[in-house]
A and B are shown apart, each in its own frame.
Chain A
C-alpha cells in the first residue's frame, strides 16, 4: 500500500511539474503586463510542432531544432502577440476584458491554423528524453527519465529566473517597468524594449515547456486546446501569479490532488474535485500561497 501511495505521488508530481512549467510562463507574462494571455498555451503547442517539424521532418540536429523552435515562438510573441494584439488593444486603452477575449480568439485561430498546417492526427514524439519503456525503478517505484529531465529543467529555470530578476540589470529594469512604466522610462529604461523582452521570455519559456510536454501529450492539438492551459493558469494563481517558484508549487498541488482523487475517491469525478478546490482556494486566498518575489 505504501508503495502504491508513493508511486501515485511520484506520478502526480511528474504531471504537476508540467502544469507548473506552464504556470511559470503565465507568471512571467503577468509580472510585466498585469494581464493574462489566454493564448498562452498555444505557444506550447507551436513550440512542440516547430520542434517536431525541424527535428523529425527536416532531420536537423536536436540542439538546432530546439533553438530554432523556441526562437520562432519568441518571435511570434514579439511580432504578433505584442506587435499586433497587445498594441492594438492598449493603444485604444482597452481593458483586461478586451485582452482576454482577443487572446481567446487568437488561441482558437492558432488551433485551426495548426490543424490546417499539420493535420489533426497526433504525431509520436521521438524518445529524446530517454526511452519510456525502461524507466528507473527504485524499490518497486517507477520514475520516468522524462520526469527527471522536467525536474532538472524547472529547477534550473526557477533559479535562473530568480538570478535574472534580482541580480542582473536587465532583470531589475524589467521589474521596474512592471511596477511603474512612467517612472521606469524617466529612469532611462527603454519600456518598449522591456515589454518586448517579457513577451519573448514568456512565449519562449512556454515553447520550451511545450517541447517538454510533447513526450507525454504527443505533438497534438490537445496541447493547445485541451484543459492543460487552464491547469497552468490555476497553478500560477495558486502560487500567487508573480512568483515562478509559487507556480511550481501550485502545479505540484494540482497534480497531487488529481492523482489522489482518482486513487481514493473516483476517476469520473476527479475534475470536479480539482476545480472545486481551486474555487475554494481562490475565494479563501486570492493573493495566492506566496508573496511577491
Chain B
C-alpha cells in the first residue's frame, strides 16, 4: 500500500512540476492544448466507451462551446465565468437534438447522423455571418483573469489540471453508480437492458449530455486560451482526431482520454524535424494507426499494468485510481 502511495505521489509531483521544470511556454501551451483535448476525449470515453453511443461530430460541440462563450462575452458583456456556463448549457441543449436519432439508430447509422450534425453546424457557423463573423473568425476574445492577474500558460495549465481532476472524479463517481452500470448494460445489449427496466432513452440523453457538456467546456477553454476562433478549427477532421485520442488512450478505460489526448497532440510536434515538413504528419498518423490496430484497448491498460508492476499489487486491476 505504501508503495502505491509513493507512486501516486510521484505522478502528482510530475504533473505539478511539469511547467516549472519545462519553463518553456511553447511546450506548456501544447500541453494545455492536449489537456483541452483530454476533456473532450474523457467525454467521448463516457459516451462511446461506456454508453456505446458513437459520435463523430464532437468538433461541432467544441465549436458551439467556443462560439457561445466568445459571443456572450464579447457581444452581451457576460463575465467569463458566465460565458463558460453558457457554453456548457448550450452544448447540452444541442445534445438533445443529436440524441433523438440515437433512440432509433445505433452503430454505423448513428455515426453517420453525428457526421451530418457536425457538417450542419459547420456550415451554419460559416454562413451566419452577422452572428459568428463567418470565416473571418472572432478575435479579441479576452483571456482569463483572477485577482487582477492575467493568466499565462502556466496558470491555464494548473486550472486545466484541476478541472480534469474534478471531471475525472465526476466520471468515476458516475460509472461506479447505477448510471454507469446502466450505460454498460445498454452498450452490451440494448434490448436486454430495456427488458430489465432501464429507460435507455434517458440514459442516452444523459450520455450525450455529459460528453457534449465536456466538449463545450473544452471549447470555452480553447477560445479564451487562444483569443481567436474560426470555423477551420471545428471541421470533421477534428472530430475524428478526438475519437482517435479516446481510442489511443483506451475507450473503455477511465484514464483513456487523459492518456490518449496528450499522445495524439504531441506526436506531430515530436516529428517536426528539419526537412520533414510533409513527412511528420505521415509518421505521426502511422504510429496512431499502429496503436489503434494492434492495441485496440489503448495505452491506458498498459500504463496501469506498468504502474502496478513498479508500485505494487497486481490484484487491484479495477480501472485507474491513479490520479
Partner-B contacts on A (CB < 8 A): 36, 84-85, 88-89, 92, 94, 96-98, 100-102, 104-106, 108-109, 112-113, 115-116, 119-120, 225, 227, 230, 233-234, 237, 268-269, 271-272, 275-276, 278-279, 282-283, 286
Residues of A within 8 A of B237 (CB): 108, 225
Option from A97, A104, A279 in Cβ contact (under 8 Å) with B113: A279
Dominant SS at the B interface? helix
Q: Distance (Å) between the CB of A286 and the closest chain B CB?
A: 6
A100 and B111 form a contact (CB under 8 A): yes
A112 touches B281 (CB 8 A): yes
Which of A94, A109, A268, A269 has the most chain B CB within a 10 Å cutoff?
A109
In Å, the complex CA distance between A230 and B118 comes to 12
Contact partner of A88 (CB less than 8 A), chosen from B52, B112, B116, B293, is B293
- By beta carbon, the residue of chain A nearest B287 is A109
| B200 contacts A by Cβ under 8 Å | no
B75 within 8 A of A: no
Neighbour of B123 across the interface among A100, A272, A282, A283, CB < 8 A? A272
- A105-B293, A282-B101 known; 8 other A-B pairs, CB under 8 Å? A88-B293, A88-B294, A97-B107, A101-B243, A102-B292, A105-B244, A106-B293, A278-B116
Considering only residues 87-142 of chain B, those with a C-beta below 8 Å from chain A are: 100-101, 104-105, 107-109, 111-113, 115-117, 119-120, 123-124, 126-127
What does the 1/0 interface line of B230-247 toward A look like (CB < 8 Å)? 000000110010011001
- Known contacts A88-B294, A282-B113; is-contact A269 B289 (Cβ 8 Å): no
Whether the Cβ atoms of B289 and A275 lie closer than 8 Å is: no
Contact A89 B293 (CB under 8 A): yes
User: Residue on B with the closest CB to A271?
Assistant: B123
A-B contact count (CB 8 A): 112
A-B contact pairs, 25 of them (CB 8 A): A89-B293, A97-B48, A97-B54, A97-B251, A104-B240, A104-B244, A106-B293, A109-B282, A109-B288, A112-B282, A113-B282, A116-B279, A230-B115, A234-B112, A268-B123, A268-B127, A269-B127, A271-B120, A272-B123, A275-B116, A276-B116, A278-B116, A282-B109, A282-B113, A283-B105
Alpha-carbon distance A271/B111, docked complex (angstroms): 17
Q: What's the Cα separation between A116 and B279 when bound, in Å?
A: 6
Residue of B101, B107, B120, B236 near A283 (CB, 8 A) is B101
Q: Does B176 contact A (CB under 8 A)?
A: no
With a cutoff of 8 Å between Cβ atoms, the chain A residues found around residue B243 in the complex are 101, 104
Shortest beta-carbon distance from B239 to chain A in Å: 10
Say whether B158 faces chain A, with CB atoms less than 8 Å apart.
no
Kindly state whether residue B296 has any CB partner on chain A within 8 Å: yes
From residue A266, how far is it (CB to closest CB) to chain B in Å? 9
State the CA gap A135–B126 with chains docked (Å).
35
Bound Cα distance from A282 to B107, whole angstroms: 12
Residues of B contacting A92 with CB < 8 Å?
Answer: 296
Beta-carbon contact of B105 and A286 below 8 Å: yes
A271→B52 CA distance, assembly (Å): 28
Cα A264 to Cα B311 in complex, Å, equals 67
Nearest B residue to A225, CB-CB: B237
A105 near B120 with CB under 8 A, answer no
**Closest chain A CB from B231 CB (angstroms):** 13
Query: Of B54, B115, B240, which is within 8 A of A108 by CB?
Result: B240
A-B pairs, 5 with minimum CB distance: A275-B116, A112-B282, A109-B285, A105-B289, A268-B127
Quick one: which of A96, A101, A105, A272 contacts B107, CB cutoff 8 A?
A96
